[in-house]
Amino acid sequence: MLYYIFDLLKGIDVPGARLMTYITFRSGAALILSLFIAIVFGRRIIDRLQLMQVGEIVRNLGLEGQMAKTGTPTMGGVIIIMSILIPCLLVGNLANVYMLLMIFATMWLGTLGFLDDFLKIKRHNKDGMKGKYKIVGQVGLGLIVGLTMYLSPDIVMRENIETQQPSPDGTETVVTYNHENIKTAQTTIPFVKSNNFNYAWLTGWMGDYAETAGWIVFILVAIFVITAISNGANLTDGLDGLCTGTSAIIVAALAVMAYLGGSIVYSSYLNIMYIPGSEELVVFASAFLGALIGFLWYNAFPAQVFMGDTGSLTIGGIVAVFALLIRKELLLPILCGIYIVEDLSVTMQVVWFKITKRRFGEGRRIFKMTPLHHHFQKQGGTIPAIFQHPYNAIPESKIVVRFWIIGIFLAVITFVTLKIR
């Protein structure tokens, strides 16, 4: 709302009214606002959750310090969601389709996670909403995002053109852009010369319908990405501060990518696709980052509040939708490597257990415990499993910090891929 007030003041030459035209100023304002809301009002929400006895239900998995977390307020994801939405509504451009899609995705996934947490508390168990209903919600969001990107005339890009020009050292590659916006299902792909990949290439055999079919493939990819990353973040939320800190690193990286892709100068220098209007996503990412850091104030070990599925499902889904909008979804296996590994560890454990049970009469394990972060908490030799290392249990806080370090490393590798071609 402040964005439009400043826009009116700009018309009558009020000093400082033009500040809201700068993405950097609005992004900084969104970051500060979200951080303030999360820290100041977050404390009040935590106290309220305690009064309402909205406590975490903990299963005894035999992990050190685990049962001490029983009763810790959950559903703290409402703090994150509130801290995202309020700054975006205040300083965001609500006429921008990218901002509107991100706000919609936040509310959609926040509602899905809230219902899951509500059912857990109401039934006094960890089951919550059935998995198939969560999948339906995630698939529905993928369809909406994919179709909006296909149908909206405001979601376009400009193709980069490489030309060889003479220089004192011989020739150099100069990148320019078509002046016309195009509607295409292109995305960024790592380790490829042009860094661009058009999904229509997969459907080239369909002739005149190749481009439309390419968008159908993109929508299917969007559904898969949102489902996988959302569930991956949900599984990562198992230790104090793990999902929050890891996600903050990912969001910071995505914010930089959105800024670079929304600037014709930087996108030309890096030879990456230019997406007009996507710079507004930097404002959203700043609010998101501030919300995560503010929530980490209370979620760091020992946690005073848990985000619950209200937070974890929303965080993963937002990351996925954001990456899709800036056409960086194929970089997520690197950037969100921790989410992916946590997801795969559970899948591998379940599949191997079922195969060995059918073959040998008893289920066998690959890891001592999954998701993967619990594997490091468990003493070696206590549970039969293929991988027993490390034999000494690692303290929770050390596991979290090491995962953060890995997350930073993955973020750096993701940026490096933009220049490896």
DSSP string, 111-155: HHHHHHHHHHHHHTSS--S-HHHHHHHHHHHHHHHHHHHHH-TT-
Identify residue 354 by its one-letter amino acid code. K
Mean pLDDT, to the nearest integer, of 316-343? 96
DSSP string, 154-188: T--BB-EEEEEEEETTEEEEEEEE-SS-B---EEE
Contact 32, 120 (CB under 8 A): no
Question: What integer pLDDT is reported at residue 380 of this predicted model?
Answer: 85
pLDDT band at residue 19 under the 50/70/90 scheme? confident
- The yes-or-no verdict on residue 316 having pLDDT over 70 is yes
pLDDT band at residue 306 under the 50/70/90 scheme? very high
- The yes-or-no verdict on residue 58 having pLDDT over 70 is no
Identify residue 90 by its one-letter amino acid code. L
Query: Quick one: tokens of 335?
Result: 């950037």
Question: What integer pLDDT is reported at residue 238 of this predicted model?
Answer: 87
| pLDDT per position as a tens digit, 355-409 | 999 998 889 999 999 999 999 998 888 888 999 888 888 999 999 999 999 999 9
Residues in a beta bridge with 188? 196
Mean pLDDT, to the nearest integer, of 340-349? 96
| pLDDT per position as a tens digit, 70-89 | 778 888 999 999 999 999 99
Contact 311, 113 (CB under 8 A): yes
Question: What integer pLDDT is reported at residue 189 of this predicted model?
Answer: 87
- The yes-or-no verdict on residue 133 having pLDDT over 80 is yes
CA 255 – CA 258 distance, rounded (Å): 5
| pLDDT per position as a tens digit, 235-246 | 999 899 999 999
pLDDT band at residue 344 under the 50/70/90 scheme? very high
160-167 and 170-177 beta bridge pairing: antiparallel
